[in-house]
Amino acid sequence: MRAISAVDSVSPAIQRTREFLFRPFNWGTYLKLGLVAIITEGVGSNFHSSSHGGHSLGHGPTVYSPFNLAPEWVAAIVAAVLAAVVLSIVVFYLITRLRFAFFHCLIHNTKEIRPGWRLYRAQAMRFFWLNLVAGFAFLLLVVLVALPFVAGFWRLFHETPQGSQPDLGLLLTLILPLIPIILLLVLVGVVADVVLRDWMLPHFALDNATAGEAWTRVWARIKAEKRQFIVYALLRLILPVIAMIGLFIVLLIPGLMLAGSVAAIEYGIHSVFADATGASALVGVLLEVFFGLVAFGLALLAGICLGGPVSTGIREYALIFYGGRYQALGDILYPPSPQPADPTHP
């Protein structure tokens, strides 16, 4: 397979997506593959950032403090946090396995998930640990960058008299420098995600490479074609955004109509059973739950039907671009034509 530019890789990626999902078309298979694509491309991102917390200005000694919690509550919170961390790691491992299985489906144009799930078990485990280390390194970077700002916010709010607003000028001096740093961290996370998933994962799967070997091979290709890899990274960031905007436009009117219909039905049921008691009240609640579940199911179905092709197309785009620069991958995507036999050599 010859190397294709980042721009020219878009068209064959769309073509392969169409062939993979729609030829032949089967509703059950389409929904299965669409859901897998959404999980591996959307939910299964390598870097997740979440912030929890808040600050409330109290009045007098009644200010709530987490240090006033009873020991059993502290123990329960710690146990819940640890359980959530363990569960997140397990889910992330399963998503990594699923990512390799979907990679196998796309490169071989097969719709069976199970063969790839079994075939790349060892490679997926090594890739999982690499992503885990990279994720914790990124989290550590975020913490180190945030520490000076956290100290500044802490000092500002503690120096603010109770019942009054913090100084707006000082608050802006803390927030404004934080904006470009946040954007830079997001960019670092996106680039790391592209390098890991789009370029290193194929080497893990097809070469059974270690992290060092995969990175060495990827870096050699990046140095040889810096411009094309930069253009690809930009398009890899822009194209999903454009696709999501398009989906939003397509779904806006149907979504509003669905939401309005469900709201009207729910309001009508609630009005009819407002004064009901006993079994009648239970029937009203069950009807409200039923129509709520129907609405959720329709929304989920629409999300899979529209998001599945977009997520699949993103992965096909990555394979097409890198397959032209990685022969083992390119030969699977587009097997070379057999050479004609030499008539002079029987």
- Per-residue pLDDT of 50-66, as tens digits, reads 343 444 434 444 444 44
Neighbouring CB atoms inside 10 A of 314's CB total 22
Share of the chain above pLDDT 90, in %: 47
**Is 308 domain-assigned?**
yes
Domains in the chain, number: 1
Q: Which residue in this structure is represented by tokens 């298979």?
A: 29
> Which of 159-163, 221-225, 256-260 has the largest mean confidence?
221-225
**Is 60 domain-assigned?**
no
Give 111-131 as a DSSP string: --SHHHHHHTHHHHHHHHHHH
Residue 57: the pLDDT is 39
Residue 45: the pLDDT is 53
Q: Cα–Cα–Cα angle for 151, 156, 159, nearest 5°?
A: 120
Asked if the model's pLDDT at residue 19 lies above 80, the reply is yes
**Is 97 domain-assigned?**
yes
Residue 157: the pLDDT is 73
Measured distance CA(185)–CA(201) in Å, rounded: 22
**Is 257 domain-assigned?**
yes
**Is 62 domain-assigned?**
no
Residue 58: the pLDDT is 42
- Per-residue pLDDT of 200-217, as tens digits, reads 999 999 999 999 999 999
**Is 53 domain-assigned?**
no
**Is 339 domain-assigned?**
no
The boundaries of the domain holding residue 20 are 10-48+71-333
**Mean predicted confidence (pLDDT) in 260-281:** 83
Q: What is the pTM of this model?
A: 0.80
**Is 59 domain-assigned?**
no
